[in-house]
Structure formats: C-alpha cells, structure tokens
Amino acid sequence: MPQTSPRECALDVLQAPTGPSKGFVETALHTQLAAGAFSPADRALITELVYGATRRRLTLDWVIERTSDRPIEKLDPALRLILHVALYQVLFMDKVPDYAAVNEAVEAAKRRLHAGAAKFANAVLRTVLRTKARLPWPTPDQDLVEHLAVVHSHPRWLVRRWLDHFGPDTTAEICKADNLPPAITLRVNRLKLSRDELIQRLASESVEAEAVGGDEAAVRVRTPGPLDTLQTFARGEFYIQDVTAMSVARLLDPRPGERVLDLCAAPGGKTTHCAELMDDTGRVVACDLDEKRLGLLAANVARLGLTCVEPARCDARHLPELLPAASFDRVLLDAPCSNTGVLRRRAEARWRVKENDIGPLSERQGELLDAAALMLKPGAVLVYSTCSIEPEENARAVRAFLSRHGEFALEGETALLPDAAGADGGYMARLTRQG
C-alpha cells in the first residue's frame, strides 16, 4: 500500500475529532504519526497543518465566507476541512507553493467527496489566490473585537473578556502568542541523572537540547520529532512538561518522607515531579476520576521508576468520605479549568470552551478547594493552580475560598500570561492552614 501523503494524513487527523469518539486532535495526530513511516520533514509538515488549521479555524472560515457563495454552516464538514488545510498553506506557510496546496485540495475533494466538491474547492482557492492581497480584513479602528478575533483566530466572546480584563495591548499580545508553536521542554528525572547528562544522552540519539531558565531541571528540545520513541524516554530519564507547569510542584515544595495528596492528578506530570522532589520517599496519593487517564498516570510512574506514588480513582469532591481528614502535609489541587492559558498547546481548546462554561468551572473549583481544605494537618500547605488566565478561576476563586475558610492564609500567588518567549499562562497560589 502506498504511503499516505502528508496532506492526506493531516486531513485524516482533522476528521478524527469530528467522529463518534469526539477525541482530541493531539491524540489523533499521535495515532496517525505512529501508524505511518513518515520522514522528519513530513512529520513536521503534518503537525503544522493539523495544529495550524485547528488554531486558525475562525480566520479560515472568514476567508471562505468572503470568497464563496455558500454560507459556511452549509458546507460539508469534510470539504470545509479540505479548504482549511489548503488555505492555511496559502495564507500562513511560505515554503509550500500555492499550486501544490490547491492541486492537492482539489484531488482530495474528488477522492473523499465528489466532482462537484472538487469544482467548488478549486473555485474558492483560485479566488483566494487572486484576491488574498486585497481581502477586507477588519481593522482595529473599525471594530477591535472583530479585528483581534478574525486576524488572530480567537472566539469573539473570549476577546471581549480579555479586553475587559487586560486591555487592548495585552490582549493582542496574548492572541499573537497563542498562535505560536509551543516550546518543547523536558523535566529531567533527577533521581536517575543530571540535566547535563540528559542533554548528552539526548545528543547521542540525535536530539539537540539545551538547559533553560525557570527551573533547574528544565531542558528545551531544539530538534523536532517524536520523543516517546527515544531510549532516554523509555528509561524514564525525563518527563515532557512545560516550565510553567514545573513551577507548581516547586511552589508546593514537598519534602522527603511527607504525606502528599495530589487531586485531579492524571496524567501525572506534577505527581511525578512531587515524588522526585521527595526523593521517592514518603507517600503521594494521586487521585483522579478518569480511569483511563489514571492508567496513563500509573504508566508514567512506572516508566520513571517511582515507588512512593499511590494512584486512587475517586471524585476529589468526596474525599472526606474516602480518606482520613487532616492527614496530609501538603495538598496539590491542579484544578480542571478552561485552559485559556495554554491555547497554543491545546489547539482545539479555544473552540471547545464556551462563555457559559466559566461559571460552572468556578463553582466546581470551589467545591474541590473545600474538599482539599479538610485533608490538611494544621500548619500544612495547599497549592491551588490552573492553566487558565480567567480571574473567576484564579484569584477570585482563592479569595472566595479564604472567605469561607478563615483557618487558611494566603502566602503568595502568581498569575502568568502566555508570551512570545514560549511560556504558558496559568495561575498558582500557596495557602497555609493555621493553628
């Protein structure tokens, strides 16, 4: 059987999340790349097409609406994706010839749909090629929300929120940062080797990497390609994790021999970091409600060679019914959230989350905080974190918690916004139970 072309593979990935499984594009991409013998260059192209077309969905739909005679909602979903992939190449990729993008899109429409779809795709794409230099992009003076939403491909409701919270300049910077490729960073397993040793071993596997600031265990990968096929990965010598996420366990500061509770723990990045900081002594109870994700956590724990982690399937809101109260030295609550701080990393998250999700998420976060509070000994530490940049999920949630729990004091908090240097956005607060 002939090898699937990179653009065909990208279309297969993009169609997968629209099927019955309703999965994540990252999962579908990993599955497709693992199934094909693609060159490094083809893997890079597939990855950019998938993530680029997903992130830029609103922009691409806007262009289609202005170069065709059909409402976007009336288009066949498969045809819409074919146009997205082609238009992303035409509008955002300099190294791909326009004719190649158009020809492959037309052929894909023939194979996957019918001759009429191919004719329509050809007409739209040829129109874009003729008119792309004079497309009537909305300007900031005309409508700032529409300008930021269309040019940077963000939901309009989210742009409005950010303009209210952060102002126009910061909102524009966030939107720009969200469309940049995420940095690939690793956390060295300090129980197995040093950071310098990991960099040397990665080099022996043809992976270029370098030490980065922000965390003494952080390594940035410069060479694109699969990391989970490396011997260094199989030996548990690193965990793939953003530097912002690494700072959460550092803030918790778990000590060897302590009892630590990690709520909403899967797939285990912060759990395993805690265990490493504890020299794999004491006990880390890692709770999660999702059985499949808890299986991923257990696999990561085993790969890293850790023994002090105890996975537990449970709804963290019902912890008092499952675990003895006031029995932990430290509790980490990395709460389920809107993910608005990591939109460049979770490509489809900007389209999944809705404006009316923020309130229910904030309520759930409050319930989880209340349950976590019951698990701490006097003098113990609670760290609350999210990968959101929404005030209701962050500082306001912590202030509401403190108003309900006078026995807790806020030691400090940090709010981070996504930036062009590659850092993710998020929030973390450290609280102490008094007396």
Looking at the structure, tell me whether residues 346 and 266 fall in a common domain. yes
pLDDT in tens, 225-249: 789 899 999 999 999 999 999 999 9
Neighbours of 120 (CB within 10 A): 22
Looking at the structure, tell me whether residues 317 and 218 fall in a common domain. no
The reported pLDDT for the residue numbered 199 is 97
Asked if 319 and 365 count as a contact pair (C-beta separation under 8 A), the reply is: no
Candidate from 20-24, 244-248, 287-291 with smallest mean pLDDT: 20-24
Among residues 322, 326, 294, 321, which one has the least CA distance to residue 310? Answer: 294
- Compute the average pLDDT of residues 397-405: 98
Residue 1 lies in a domain: no
Decide if pLDDT at 20 tops 50: no
What is the dihedral angle through the alpha carbons of 215, 217, 220, 224, rounded to the nearest 10 degrees? -140
Residue with tokens 């607060």: 429
Half-sphere exposure of 186 (CA within 13 A, CB side): 29
Number of domains in the chain: 4
Looking at the structure, tell me whether residues 307 and 158 fall in a common domain. no
Percent of the chain with pLDDT over 70: 98
pLDDT-based confidence at residue 18 (cuts at 50, 70, 90): low
Among residues 247, 249, 241, which one has the least CA distance to residue 186? Answer: 241
Candidate from 137-146, 175-184, 416-425 with smallest mean pLDDT: 416-425
- Compute the average pLDDT of residues 297-303: 97
Asked if 60 and 90 count as a contact pair (C-beta separation under 8 A), the reply is: no
> What distance in Å separates the CA atoms of residue 150 and residue 179, rounded to the nearest whole number?
13
Looking at the structure, tell me whether residues 148 and 265 fall in a common domain. no
| 291 burial level (CB within 10 Å; 0-12, 13-18, 19+) | exposed
For the annotated catalytic residues, the residue numbers are 387
Residue 325 lies in a domain: yes
Q: Is the dihedral of CA 204, 209, 210, 216 positive or negative?
A: negative
Percent of the chain with pLDDT over 90: 82
pLDDT in tens, 92-111: 998 888 988 999 999 999 99
Decide if pLDDT at 21 tops 50: no
pTM of the model: 0.93
The reported pLDDT for the residue numbered 96 is 83
Looking at the structure, tell me whether residues 165 and 208 fall in a common domain. no
Looking at the structure, tell me whether residues 342 and 371 fall in a common domain. yes
Asked if 244 and 424 count as a contact pair (C-beta separation under 8 A), the reply is: yes
Helix (H, G, I), strand (E, B) or coil at 93: coil
Asked if 385 and 248 count as a contact pair (C-beta separation under 8 A), the reply is: yes
pLDDT-based confidence at residue 373 (cuts at 50, 70, 90): very high
Looking at the structure, tell me whether residues 275 and 234 fall in a common domain. no
Residue 139 lies in a domain: no
The reported pLDDT for the residue numbered 423 is 82
Neighbours of 183 (CB within 10 A): 18
* Cα end-to-end distance, the chain, whole Å: 69
The reported pLDDT for the residue numbered 3 is 59
Asked if 328 and 261 count as a contact pair (C-beta separation under 8 A), the reply is: yes
> What distance in Å separates the CA atoms of residue 361 and residue 25, rounded to the nearest whole number?
23
- Compute the average pLDDT of residues 155-176: 97
Looking at the structure, tell me whether residues 275 and 296 fall in a common domain. yes
Decide if pLDDT at 294 tops 60: yes
CA 282, chain centre distance (Å): 31
Looking at the structure, tell me whether residues 73 and 118 fall in a common domain. yes
Give whole-number Cα distances, 19 to 59, 82, 109, 325, in Å.
23, 16, 19, 44
pLDDT-based confidence at residue 17 (cuts at 50, 70, 90): low
Q: Give the β-pairing of 283-288 and 259-263.
A: parallel
Residue 331 lies in a domain: yes
Highest mean pLDDT among 16-25, 90-99, 227-236, 312-321: 227-236
Residue predicted with more confidence, 21 or 199: 199
**Which residues are registered as beta bridge partners of 285?**
261, 310
Looking at the structure, tell me whether residues 232 and 349 fall in a common domain. no
pLDDT in tens, 330-370: 999 999 999 999 999 998 999 999 999 999 999 999 999 99
* CATH number of the domain residue 108 falls in: 1.10.940.10
> What distance in Å separates the CA atoms of residue 262 and residue 330, rounded to the nearest whole number?
9
The reported pLDDT for the residue numbered 19 is 44
For 329, the token pair is: 């030295």
**Following DSSP, what letter does each residue of 352-418 receive, concatenated?**
H--GGGHHHHHHHHHHHHHHHHTTEEEEEEEEEEES---GGGTHHHHHHHHHH-TTEEEEEEEEE--
pLDDT-based confidence at residue 285 (cuts at 50, 70, 90): very high
> What distance in Å separates the CA atoms of residue 309 and residue 323, rounded to the nearest whole number?
16
Looking at the structure, tell me whether residues 149 and 230 fall in a common domain. no
Residue with tokens 């760290």: 383
Candidate from 16-25, 42-51, 118-127, 378-387 with smallest mean pLDDT: 16-25
- Compute the average pLDDT of residues 109-118: 94
Helix residue ranges, H only, 18-143: 25-35, 40-55, 57-67, 77-92, 98-112, 115-131
Residue 310 lies in a domain: yes
**Which residues are registered as beta bridge partners of 382?**
331, 431
Domain assignment of residue 196, given as a range: 185-240
The reported pLDDT for the residue numbered 266 is 94
The reported pLDDT for the residue numbered 223 is 84
Question: How confident is the prediction for the chain on average, in pLDDT?
Answer: 93
Looking at the structure, tell me whether residues 236 and 249 fall in a common domain. no
For 166, the token pair is: 């952060």
pLDDT in tens, 208-220: 999 998 789 999 9
